[in-house]
A and B are shown apart, each in its own frame.
Chain A
């Protein structure tokens, strides 16, 4: 079964520093990948999704992710962290068609002033 692995359950960065959240997928066919963000006491909100149109995907709030087939990765980055980016981030994969999203364990991002 297709799955995603998020490396690091907790990442801490300084305000203004680069954010890098890692996600690797296990798939023998082209995966459909998503990044979601969950702010405290909120539901999940889509940040971006990979549609195969481009390997570099831009999302909301200056986040972007690069699909690398050779590394089976879809890491999430942001050039400069803001305090408001502190949240839980989830990588997800849709195995096929309209099957439900399968989520990684999540990475909690802390931003230090």
Chain B
């Protein structure tokens, strides 16, 4: 398996524009997670899905953020409108539903810069 695939790797956009980040989880994984990494706050969980259903989106910072998982092999994280403070590295991760010791597998991340 190619692992978790995220696209694009880098995104530079102007304030106010819509940004869509994409993720393809590892085939067969039941859980998908979106994290955001910043210098100030470290790694924060934004939202996670189980079998394509959103379970907890309490980490989504504002209504400007939305995430979908239309099928088991694809998820998107959308920011509309984007703001400079959204600049961060966004990671997607996936895991099997096999219990407490199951590790999450991470993609290489999307570095978002909003100018």
A associates with B: yes
B101, A51: Cβ atoms closer than 8 Å: yes
* Interface residue ranges, A against B (CB under 8 Å): 32, 34, 36, 41-46, 49-51, 90, 94, 96-98, 100-106
A43 in contact with B104 (CB, 8 Å): no
Contact A46 B103 (CB under 8 A): yes
B 70-108 contacts with A by CB, 8 A: 91, 93, 95, 97, 99-108
**Size of the chain B interface, CB-CB below 8 angstroms:** 26
**Is the CB–CB distance between B91 and A106 below 8 Å?**
no
Q: In the complex the two chains form, is B100's CB within 8 Å of A106's CB? A: no
> In the complex, which residues of chain A have a beta carbon less than 8 angstroms from the beta carbon of B106?
36, 43-45
Cβ of A43 and Cβ of B107 under 8 Å apart?
yes
Instruction: Tell me if A's interface is mostly helix, strand, loop or mixed.
Output: loop
Contact with A along B36-61 (1 / 0, CB 8 A): 00000011010010100000100000
B4, B31, B43, B100: the one within 8 Å of A90 (CB) = B43
- Return chain A residues, CB-CB under 8 Å to B107: 43
Considering the chains assembled together, what is the distance between the CA atoms of A32 and B101 in angstroms? 6
For residue A43, which residues in chain B have a CB less than 8 angstroms away from its CB?
4, 91, 106-109
Contact partner of A98 (CB less than 8 A), chosen from B91, B102, B108, is: B102
Distance between Cα atoms of A98 and B49 in the complex (Å): 11
- Determine the residue in chain A with the shortest Cβ distance to B101: A51
A94 contacts B100, C-beta separation under 8 Å? yes
